[in-house]
C-alpha cells in the first residue's frame, strides 16, 4: 500500500527540527520528509513519486534561498502528481501580493504565521489531511486513529464503503 | 558734473547763474580757450594731441602736468591686480591730473584717451604764466577746478551713503539667505527621517521574518524540553550510569547538519535494519554521526531494550533542541542589537565609530534580502570615522538595497573597506553584479528629482541616493558611481578618517 507523505520545506534547520517534533503524533500514519530548499523539495517529490507513494500535505516556508515557497507551490499545483496535495504556507512574513499569488495560483489551503501554536498547527494539519484522504482515498479506516474521526466516519457512511 | 540747461550763457561769459554756488559752463570755457588759441603763442605751444588708446597718465607715476581736455574723451581707469576698472569718463572742459599736479602725490588713476584727444598741457611754470596772461580765463579755470573738487567731494559723500545703503541691503539679503538655509536644513532633515522611516518600514517587514524564524524554534524547543526533561531525568536516574544520558545529550548539542537527501537515505537504510522502530526514532538515529551511532548500537543489542534506546534518543534530541535554543537566542539577540544600533538617532555631536560595525549590522538587518546573494566582504582595516552612525547606516542600507533591486535579488555583492593612513581617508566600495548604471544617468542618479522607481510601488520616496549623497557630504565625504569590472555598478564612498 502506498504511503501518504507530509513534506516540510524550510531553510532553517532549527525550525525544521521543531516542526517535525510538533507533527510526530501523525508520523506513524503519515511519514514526514524534510527539505531545506525548493530544489531539495523537487528532488524529494521525485523520490516519493518514484517509490510509488503520495504527498498529502506540503508545509512550506516562503522566504528561502533559491526559489521561494510560493514558487514551489505554484509548481506543485501545475504538476498532476502534487495538484491535490494540501498546501500550507508557514511563514514569518509574506507580503499581501505574494499571498494573493499563493491563493490564486497555488490554491493555497492554509496560512500559518510563525511563531505558531503547536495545537493549532496540529489541528490545521489534521484538518487538511482529513480533507485530503476523504477526497483521494478509498480505504479510510486506517486514518481514524490520527485524523478527525467524526468526519471520516461520516465519509465512510456516505461513500458506502469501508 | 550735471549741467544746468536752464541757465542762459548770456548772463555772464564764464560764470553763470546767481545762485549761492556759481555753476561754471565747461563748453563756454572750452570755446573761450579755443577762440584764444590762434592768437596766443603760449596756448599754441601748450596744445597736445593724444591718439585713441594712448595713455596720458599712468597710475602711481609722479605727475607735473595738468591737462585740460578741449576735444575728445578720456577714460579714467583704476588698475586692479590683473584687470582695470573704468571708473569714469571725461570730456571737453574736464581736467586730467588735477590732484597729482596740485598735491605732488602719485597719480591715483590712469588716464587713457578713449578717442582722439586734443588738450592743453600745463606744467607748473606754464600754468603760472597762463594765469598771469589770461586772468579772466583763469578765474573761470579756478572756478572750474574748485567745482571739480567740490564735485568729487560730493561724489565721495554720495558714495558713502550708497555704500551704507548697499551694506544694509546686503545685511538684509544675508539674513534672508540664512533663514532660507535654515529652512532647507529643516526640510532636508525631515526628508532624511521620512526616508529613514520608509526604509525602516521595509526593513521591519523583513525583520519580522528574520526574528520569527528563530523565535519559532526557540519557543517550540523550550516547550519540548520543559515537557520532556523531568521525565527524562527520572528515567535516567534508574540507570546505573547516568553519564550515558549526558553523553548523548552533549552529542545532540553538537550535531552537525546533513543535507536532507543524505539524511533520507540513511533513514531508509536504518528502516531496513530496524523495521520495528518508529520513524521518529529512526529520524533521530539518522542524525547521528558514526561514532555516536556505534555507541548507540552497543546499547541496542537486538533492539529489545526499547525504553533505554528511547531514553538515549530523547537525550540526543534534547541536546539538539538545547543547541537550537542557544543558536536562536543569540540570533535574536544579535538582530535586536543590530536594529537598536542601526536605528540609533545619535546625539547632536558625531562620535568616533568603526564603520565596519555599521556595515555588518546593516547586512544583518537586511539579511532576508541577501538570502540568494553571495556577499563578499573585504574589511580587514580598522576604519574609524567621526560620524553619525545612524545616518551612515542609512547610506549602506540605501546602496545595498539598490544593489539588491538592480540584481533582482540574485548575484554577488562586494563590500570593501580600506583605510588610507597617509591621506587620512577611508574608502568604502560596494559593487553588485546587476546591469550597472548607464553612463548617461551616472551624473543624475544622486539628484533628488531622479528615480527609476515608480511612484507608489515602493516604500521609499525614491530619493534614497540623493539622501545618501547628502549624508555623505555632511560627513565631508564624497560618493561616486562607476562601472564594476566585469559588469555591474560600483559605488565608491570616501570619508575622512577620524584623527
Nearest Cα to B33, choosing from B108, B105, B95, B111?
B95
Note whether B432 and B489 are same-domain residues: yes
CB B134 within 8 A of CB B68: no
Our measurement of the distance from residue B154's CA atom to the centroid of its chain's CA atoms, rounded to an integer in Å, reads: 49
pLDDT tens-digit readout, B379-438: 988 889 999 888 888 889 889 988 988 898 889 999 999 999 899 999 999 999 999 888
Contacts of A47 in chain B (CB under 8 A): 261, 264
Nearest CA in chain B to A33: B264
Domain containing residue B398:
349-496
Q: Residue A142 has what DSSP assignment?
A: G
Q: What is the pLDDT of residue B346?
A: 58
In a domain, B175, yes or no: no
Domain containing residue A73:
4-137
In a domain, B360, yes or no: yes
Note whether B243 and B359 are same-domain residues: no
In a domain, A24, yes or no: yes
Contacts of A13 in chain B (CB under 8 A): 257
Note whether B23 and B106 are same-domain residues: yes
Tell me which of B452 and B271 has the higher pLDDT: B271
Q: Residue B498 has what DSSP assignment?
A: P
Domain count, chain B: 3
Q: Is the ipTM of this complex over 0.95?
A: no
Contacts of B370 in chain A (CB under 8 A): none
In a domain, A159, yes or no: no
Nearest Cα to B108, choosing from B68, B63, B60?
B60
Please determine, for residue B459, whether its predicted confidence score (pLDDT) is greater than 50.
Answer: no
pLDDT tens-digit readout, A82-113: 999 999 999 877 677 778 888 888 889 999 98
Note whether B328 and B383 are same-domain residues: no
In a domain, A32, yes or no: yes
Q: What is the pLDDT of residue B84?
A: 72
Q: What is the DSSP string of A107-128?
A: ---EEEESSPPHHHHHHHHHHH
Which of residues B100, B117, B133 is at a domain's end?
Answer: B133
Q: What is the pLDDT of residue B331?
A: 82
Contacts of B215 in chain A (CB under 8 A): 92, 114-115
Q: What is the pLDDT of residue B344?
A: 63
Note whether B329 and B357 are same-domain residues: no
Please determine, for residue B299, whether its predicted confidence score (pLDDT) is greater than 80.
Answer: no
Tell me which residue has cell 553588485.
Answer: B432
Q: What is the pLDDT of residue B2?
A: 47
Helix (H), strand (E) counts: chain A: 6, 5
A83 CB burial (10 A radius; 0-12, 13-18, 19+): exposed
pLDDT tens-digit readout, A21-53: 999 999 989 999 999 999 999 999 999 999 999
Look up residue B131 and give its three cell numbers.
594765469
Query: Which residues have CB under 8 Å from B179's CB, separation 6+?
Result: none
Dist. CA B13–CA B10, nearest whole Å = 7
Note whether B366 and B229 are same-domain residues: no
State the average pLDDT for chain A.
90
| Nearest beta carbon to residue A93 from set B212, B215, B259 | B212
B254 CB burial (10 A radius; 0-12, 13-18, 19+): exposed
What percent of chain B is predicted at pLDDT more than 90?
A: 29
CATH assignment of the domain containing B115: 2.60.120.10
In a domain, B148, yes or no: no
State the average pLDDT for chain B.
83
Backbone angles phi, psi at B361, to 5 degrees: -65, -40
In a domain, B178, yes or no: no
Among positive and negative, which fits the CA dihedral B173, B179, B180, B185? Answer: positive
Please determine, for residue B14, whether its predicted confidence score (pLDDT) is greater than 80.
Answer: no
Q: Is A150 on the interface with B (CB under 8 A)?
A: no
Q: B4 pLDDT band (50/70/90 cuts)?
A: very low
Q: B1 pLDDT band (50/70/90 cuts)?
A: very low
Which of residues B112, B133, B154 is at a domain's end?
Answer: B133
Dist. CA A20–CA A26, nearest whole Å = 10
In a domain, B331, yes or no: yes
What percent of chain B is predicted at pLDDT more than 70?
A: 87
Mean pLDDT of B207-231: 86
Q: Give the CA radius of gyration of chain B.
A: 47
Distance in Å, alpha carbon of B219 to nearest chain A alpha carbon: 8
Q: What is the pLDDT of residue B368?
A: 75
Polymer length of chain A: 162
Count of A-B CB contacts under 8 Å: 99
In a domain, B246, yes or no: yes
Beta-carbon separation of A47 and B223 below 8 A:
no
Look up residue B78 and give its three cell numbers.
583704476
Contacts of A46 in chain B (CB under 8 A): none
Dist. CA B393–CA B343, nearest whole Å = 8
CATH assignment of the domain containing A93: 3.40.50.2300
CATH assignment of the domain containing B382: 3.30.565.10
Q: What is the DSSP string of B70-126?
A: EES-EEEEEE-SSSEEEEEEE-TT-EESHHHHHH-PPPSSEEEESS-EEEEEE-HHH
Torsion of CA B418, B419, B424, B428, to 10 degrees: 30
Note whether B333 and B357 are same-domain residues: no
In a domain, B4, yes or no: no
Tell me which of B260 and B286 has the higher pLDDT: B286
In a domain, A91, yes or no: yes
| Nearest beta carbon to residue A93 from set B208, B214, B320 | B208
Beta-carbon separation of A44 and B328 below 8 A:
no
What is the 3-class SS of B20-69, one letter each residue?
A: CCCEECHHHHHHHHHHHHHHCHHHHHHEEEECCCCEEECCCCCCCCEEEE
Dist. CA B327–CA B325, nearest whole Å = 6
Nearest Cα to B432, choosing from B408, B466, B462?
B408
For an interface test with A, give the residue of B220, B252, B374 to mutate (most A CBs within 10 A): B220
Query: Which residues have CB under 8 Å from B373's CB, separation 6+?
Result: B404, B407, B409, B410, B411, B412, B413
Please determine, for residue A69, whether its predicted confidence score (pLDDT) is greater than 80.
Answer: yes
Note whether B363 and B487 are same-domain residues: yes
What is the 3-class SS of B192-259, one letter each residue?
A: HHHHHHHHHHHHHHHHHHHHHHHHHHHHHHHHHHHHHHHHHHHHHHCCCCCHHHHHHHHHHHCCCCCC
In a domain, A102, yes or no: yes
Distance in Å, alpha carbon of B285 to nearest chain A alpha carbon: 14
Partnered with residue A111 across adjacent β-strands are A89
In a domain, A145, yes or no: no
Domain count, chain A: 1
Q: What is the pLDDT of residue B448?
A: 62
Dist. CA B217–CA B53, nearest whole Å = 94
CB A34 within 8 A of CB B263: yes
Which of residues B101, B133, B165 is at a domain's end?
Answer: B133
Note whether B107 and B218 are same-domain residues: no
Dist. CA B364–CA B371, nearest whole Å = 11
Beta-carbon separation of A32 and B217 below 8 A:
no
Mean pLDDT of B63-74: 92
H or E stretch covering B425: strand B425-432
Note whether B59 and B80 are same-domain residues: yes
Beta-carbon separation of B216 and A115 below 8 A:
yes
Amino acid at each position: 500500500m502506498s504511503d501518504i507523505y507530509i513534506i516540510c520545506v524550510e531553510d532553517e534547520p532549527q525550525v525544521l527540527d521543531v516542526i517535525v517534533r510538533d507533527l510526530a503524533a501523525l508520523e506513524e500514519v503519515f511519514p514526514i520528509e524534510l527539505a531545506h530548499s525548493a530544489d531539495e523539495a523537487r528532488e524529494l517529490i521525485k523520490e516519493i513519486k518514484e517509490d510509488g507513494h503520495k504527498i498529502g500535505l506540503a508545509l512550506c516556508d516562503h522566504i528561502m534561498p533559491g526559489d521561494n515557497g510560493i514558487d514551489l507551490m505554484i509548481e506543485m499545483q501545475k504538476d498532476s502528481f502534487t495538484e491535490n496535495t494540501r498546501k500550507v504556507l508557514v511563514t514569518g512574513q509574506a507580503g499581501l501580493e505574494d499571498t494573493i499569488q499563493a491563493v490564486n495560483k497555488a490554491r493555497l489551503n492554509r496560512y500559518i504565521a510563525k511563531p505558531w501554536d503547536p495545537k493549532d498547527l496540529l489541528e490545521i494539519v489534521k484538518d487538511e489531511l482529513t480533507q485530503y484522504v476523504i477526497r483521494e482515498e478509498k480505504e479510510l479506516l486506517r486514518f481514524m486513529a490520527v485524523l478527525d474521526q467524526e468526519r471520516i466516519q461520516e465519509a465512510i457512511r456516505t461513500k458506502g464503503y469501508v | 558734473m550735471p549741467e544746468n540747461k536752464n541757465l542762459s550763457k548770456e548772463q555772464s561769459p564764464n560764470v553763470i547763474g546767481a545762485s549761492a554756488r556759481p555753476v561754471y559752463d565747461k563748453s563756454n570755457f572750452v570755446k573761450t580757450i579755443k577762440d584764444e588759441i590762434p592768437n596766443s603763442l603760449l596756448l599754441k605751444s601748450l596744445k597736445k594731441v593724444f591718439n585713441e588708446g594712448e595713455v596720458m597718465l599712468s597710475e602711481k607715476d609722479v605727475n607735473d602736468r595738468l591737462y585740460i581736455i578741449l576735444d575728445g574723451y578720456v577714460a579714467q581707469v583704476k588698475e586692479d591686480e590683473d584687470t582695470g576698472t573704468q571708473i569714469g569718463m571725461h570730456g571737453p572742459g574736464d581736467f586730467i591730473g588735477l590732484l597729482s599736479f596740485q598735491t605732488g602725490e602719485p597719480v591715483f588713476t590712469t588716464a587713457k584717451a578713449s578717442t582722439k584727444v586734443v588738450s592743453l598741457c600745463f606744467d607748473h611754470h606754464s600754468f603760472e604764466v597762463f594765469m598771469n596772461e589770461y586772468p579772466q580765463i583763469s578765474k573761470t579755470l579756478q572756478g572750474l577746478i574748485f567745482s571739480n573738487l567740490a564735485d568729487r567731494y560730493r561724489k565721495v559723500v554720495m558714495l558713502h551713503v550708497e555704500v551704507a545703503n548697499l551694506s544694509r541691503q546686503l545685511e538684509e539679503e544675508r539674513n534672508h539667505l540664512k533663514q532660507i538655509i535654515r529652512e532647507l536644513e529643516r526640510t532636508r532633515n525631515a526628508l532624511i527621517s521620512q526616508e529613514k522611516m520608509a526604509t525602516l518600514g521595509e526593513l521591519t517587514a523583513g525583520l519580522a521574518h528574520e526574528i520569527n524564524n528563530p523565535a519559532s524554534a526557540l519557543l517550540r524547543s523550550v516547550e519540548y524540553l520543559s515537557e520532556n526533561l523531568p521525565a527524562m531525568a527520572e528515567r535516567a536516574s534508574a540507570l546505573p550510569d547516568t553519564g550515558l544520558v549526558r553523553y548523548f545529550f552533549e552529542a545532540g548539542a553538537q550535531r552537525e547538519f546533513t543535507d536532507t537527501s543524505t539524511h533520507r537515505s540513511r533513514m531508509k537504510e536504518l528502516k531496513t535494519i530496524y523495521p520495528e522502530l518508529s520513524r521518529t526514532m529512526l529520524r533521530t538515529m539518522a542524525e547521528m554521526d558514526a561514532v555516536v551511532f556505534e555507541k548507540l548500537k552497543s546499547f541496542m543489542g537486538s533492539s529489545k531494550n526499547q525504553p533505554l534506546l528511547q531514553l538515549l534518543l530523547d537525550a540526543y534530541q534534547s541536546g539538539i533542541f538545547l543547541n537550537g535554543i542557544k543558536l536562536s537566542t543569540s540570533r535574536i539577540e544579535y538582530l535586536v542589537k543590530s536594529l537598536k544600533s542601526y536605528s540609533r538617532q545619535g546625539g547632536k555631536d558625531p562620535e568616533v565609530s568603526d564603520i565596519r560595525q555599521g556595515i555588518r549590522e546593516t547586512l544583518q538587518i537586511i539579511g532576508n534580502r541577501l538570502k540568494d546573494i553571495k556577499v563578499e566582504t573585504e574589511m580587514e582595516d580598522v576604519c574609524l570615522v567621526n560620524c553619525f552612525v545612524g545616518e551612515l547606516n542609512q547610506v549602506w542600507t540605501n546602496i545595498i538595497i539598490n544593489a539588491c533591486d538592480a540584481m533582482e535579488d540574485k548575484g554577488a555583492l562586494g563590500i570593501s573597506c580600506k583605510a588610507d593612513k597617509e591621506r587620512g581617508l577611508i574608502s568604502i566600495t560596494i559593487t553588485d553584479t546587476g546591469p550597472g548604471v548607464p553612463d548617461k544617468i551616472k551624473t543624475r542618479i544622486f539628484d533628488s528629482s531622479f528615480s527609476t522607481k515608480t511612484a507608489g510601488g515602493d516604500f521609499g520616496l525614491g530619493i534614497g541616493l540623493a539622501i545618501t549623497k547628502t549624508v555623505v557630504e555632511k560627513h565631508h565625504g564624497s560618493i561616486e558611481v562607476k562601472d564594476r569590472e566585469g559588469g555591474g555598478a560600483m559605488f565608491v564612498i570616501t570619508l575622512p578618517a577620524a584623527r
